[in-house]
Amino acid sequence: MPNGSVPRHVAIIMDGNGRWAEKRHLPRVLGHRKGVKALERVVERADAAGVEYLSAYAFSTENWKRSSAEVAGLMTLFGRYIGKKTAALKARHGRIRFAGRRDRLPLSVLRALEAAEESTKDETGLQFILCVDYGGRQEVVDAVKKIITSGVGADAVTEELLSAHMYLPDAPDPDLIIRTSGEERLSNFWLWTGAYSELYFTDTLWPDFDEAALDAALASYAGRQRRMGGGTGA
């Protein structure tokens, strides 16, 4: 049976900004700028559609390998975007949260992220989760470190205990992971919480992703049968 519902948590791998720019003989950072516009459209549409959590993969733990110019361009963009968008999201009662390592970002970006989290922490609308310097493997490593530091014995280590030590333990697992640009892989996104996520791939490059594209992904999700290992009769 199709589940027929709106996913509570939609996660997006925003891929293809560089190719979008290169096709137009533009610098890659202009593709990232266009990507910010796409994200703004999608946040609004997801909110209107009744999605409760929207997570966006903006920078992976591996993306530091890119040229220093591209990394610097992205960091500048994050700082500006967060500052500008917090007020707009807050006006719609949205909450901003951040998933990723906090020890390698430029201080200005970290401060902007933390200020956005603090100023929206009591909002009860859409939860927008920005994944910056995020890696699924790193998230598990960080969880294990926290558990060891807490002094828990090996027998007490369970799936529930690990889940409780992930970056956002109170957020539901992603129901739907969307990846744009035709690549069909996770690239280290939500490895633990995405164990049973539905996957949706589209050839559209992220800067071209619009409201209709999100609607198509949501419609695809509504038609899926989720079994969670429980067999066909679930």
Please choose, from the candidates 201, 188, 181, 200, the residue with its C-alpha nearest in 3D space to the C-alpha of residue 7. 200
Asked if 31 touches Mg ion (CB under 5 A), the answer is: no
- Number of residue whose CB is nearest ligand IPE: 18
Pick the binder of ligand IPE from 11, 42, 59, 204 (CB under 6 A): 59
Asked if 133 touches ligand IPE (CB under 6 A), the answer is: no
Q: How far apart are CA 219 and CA 221, in angstroms?
A: 5
DSSP-H helix ranges across 171-225: 211-222
Q: Cα angle vertex 121, ends 118, 127, to 5°?
A: 120
Candidate segments 7-15, 26-34, 65-73, 102-110, binder of Mg ion by CB under 5 A: 7-15
Query: Is the Cβ of residue 9 or residue 34 nearer to ligand IPE in the bound state?
Result: 34
Asked if 58 touches ligand IPE (CB under 6 A), the answer is: yes
Farthest CA pair distance, the chain: 57
Single out the catalytic residue among 17, 47, 63, 188: 63
15 is catalytic: yes
CB 12 within 8 A of CB 174: no
Asked if 43 touches ligand IPE (CB under 6 A), the answer is: no
The distance of closest approach from Cβ of residue 87 to Mg ion in the complex, given in angstroms and rounded to an integer, is 30
Candidate segments 55-63, 81-89, 118-126, 163-171, binder of ligand IPE by CB under 6 A: 55-63
Q: How far apart are CA 29 and CA 78, in angstroms?
A: 12
Question: 195 is written with which tokens?
Answer: 């164990």
CB 97 within 8 A of CB 123: no
Asked if 60 touches ligand IPE (CB under 6 A), the answer is: yes
H or E stretch at 148? helix 136-150
Query: Is the Cβ of residue 53 or residue 189 nearer to ligand IPE in the bound state?
Result: 189
Pick the binder of ligand IPE from 118, 183, 203, 215 (CB under 6 A): 183
Asked if 15 touches Mg ion (CB under 5 A), the answer is: yes
CB 11 within 8 A of CB 178: yes
Query: Is the Cβ of residue 165 or residue 197 nearer to ligand IPE in the bound state?
Result: 197
Q: How far apart are CA 98 and CA 129, in angstroms?
A: 5
188 is catalytic: no
Which residues of the chain form contacts with ligand IPE (CB under 6 A)? Answer: 13-19, 57-60, 63, 74, 181, 183, 185, 187
Catalytic residues: 15, 63
